[in-house]
Structure 1
Amino acid sequence: MTGDQIYLIAREGGTGARPQPKDIEAVLNLLQHPLVDSVRVTDPDRARSAAYYLVDDPALVQAKLATLARALDGLGTAVETAE
């Protein structure tokens, strides 16, 4: 799916604030980061935009993000203790 297609689906969801295209791109960039590594992007050609696809099951993506959040939360605690 392209970023524009994801935007249209999210916009029609009606489950809260509508995301901005830049927000969707930010999430896609996070999901491509080596710490998560759950999204790949196809090479765009002249006729169309880059398309993104999940390489992991959504439950695994959720688990990776939860693990990352716990690790970051632990860093905040370590910094407070060191001060």
Structure 2
Amino acid sequence: MERYFFDIQSGREFFADEEGLRLPNLKAAEVEAMQTLTGIARESVFKGERPDLAVEVRSTAARLFCVSIIYRNASTRQ
């Protein structure tokens, strides 16, 4: 099993995953990233916050992919 790292960007804050998770494959990492992202988004909305959010997934060798949520409302559109 490969170790995957899930770095989190919330607004202007960045949290590097120093431990990672051992998962059987890339599909499992995709599921974990989406669950992490939606969990953070859910907590943010309940707190009245709506920052742009991203989870960037990497292995020990390379960056693999990024999932994100970008919040825009009528006042933020250009």
Q: TM-score, normalised by structure 1?
A: 0.35
Q: TM-score, normalised by structure 2?
A: 0.37
Higher strand share: 2
Higher helix share: 1
